[in-house]
Amino acid sequence: MRKGRFIVSLILVGIIGTLSACGVAQVEQSEVTTEEVVANTEEAFNEDTFASVPPASGAQLIGQKVSFETVDFDGNIVSSDEIFSQHEFTMVNVWATWCIFCLQELPELEVIDKEFAENDCGLVGLCGDAGNEEILKHAKDLVADNGVTYLNILPFDGWNNIFGVDVGWPASYFVNRNGEIVGEPVIGAKPDSYRKNMEELVENQSSKDKAEDGVSKNAYNIYIVDEDSKPLEGVKVQFCTDEICKLGDTDASGLASFAEPEGIYEVHILTVPDGYKQKEEVYNTEDKYGDMTITIEIE
């Protein structure tokens, strides 16, 4: 009898592990209705869908383009482009109606949304379990009871591939105006971390904007940042043509600029500061002037 219970326990653990595994994928845009979103969400929660997606760490998500179309709690169709283009940075808070920590922080998130707005930043909630009309109604009541006015959206087909919650609820992701994930997610209800992460993103962007004011547009500008989008100073960058290579060190804004004729160049990272992983990859510029951002991982 004990052996039978042990086997059942292993099966249950396996199922839970499968359901919690999620990775990164890009979702194609499509016209949707509320009914379609609900149907897609229910389908996304079946075992086969989750089992086919490999898990991804927070570091792997950085730089990923977020693209989707869904509806908000009022039934309005909204797209990722509409949401993220409104602010310099947006925090996506993934929550669930059954998660006590998610519910406890709802009033504080309303306050944080107002604080974010002062720096051209926003907050949007994604209710991950609103997969049927009954739960959606409950979610609407929770939002209303807690005085929440910021945008809340329904899960969309493939949402778990982008905003995975394999390590805990709530999970909060930071996305820039271009729809790219910046920095690692915050797992758990941690209002102070939300504020700190957003402040750092705003400060780094401000420093970058100031640096760009003095940067020539007729050059290739290589920005080196860490996983939290913090500029890295003192990184040695090699910039190569077919005949010659030039060297440059990044400044306080993480910038190394190379004023060369337009063409395709190879970019190599030769040295990085202590505590960071060496980059072995070779990067290629486009054949016209522009910026390139390279992320260095922390050891």
In a domain, 2, yes or no: no
Residue numbers of the domain that contains 179: 30-203
In a domain, 158, yes or no: yes
Residues 51 and 133 in one domain: yes
CA distance 271 to 256: 13
In a domain, 11, yes or no: no
Q: Which of 171, 203, 235 is the last residue of a domain?
A: 203
In a domain, 150, yes or no: yes
Structure tokens at 130: 């609103």
38's CB contacts (< 8 A; 6+ apart) are 130, 131, 132, 133, 136, 154
- Our count of domains for the chain comes to 2
Angle at 89 between CA 87 and CA 90, to 5 degrees: 85
Residues 249 and 108 in one domain: no
Q: Which of 203, 223, 241 is the last residue of a domain?
A: 203
> Which CATH number characterizes residue 113's domain?
3.40.30.10
164's CB contacts (< 8 A; 6+ apart) are 22, 23, 24, 55, 56, 171
Quick count: other Cβ atoms within 10 Å of Cβ 46?
10
Sequential pLDDT tens for the chain (299 residues): 443 433 333 333 333 333 322 223 323 333 334 444 444 444 433 333 232 233 345 667 788 899 999 999 999 999 999 999 999 999 999 999 999 999 999 999 999 999 999 999 999 999 999 989 999 999 999 999 999 999 999 999 988 888 876 668 999 999 999 999 998 899 999 999 999 999 999 988 876 666 555 556 788 999 999 988 899 999 999 999 777 788 889 998 899 988 888 899 999 999 999 999 998 899 999 988 888 999 999 98
In a domain, 224, yes or no: yes
In a domain, 14, yes or no: no
Residues 104 and 142 in one domain: yes
Q: Which of 203, 238, 256 is the last residue of a domain?
A: 203
Question: Would you tell me the crossing angle of helices 191-213 and 106-117 to the nearest 10 degrees?
Answer: 20
pTM exceeding the 0.75 threshold for the entire prediction:
no
In a domain, 21, yes or no: no
In a domain, 271, yes or no: yes
Residues 70 and 187 in one domain: yes
> Which CATH number characterizes residue 268's domain?
2.60.40.10
Strand partners, 126: 94, 153
Residues 182 and 261 in one domain: no
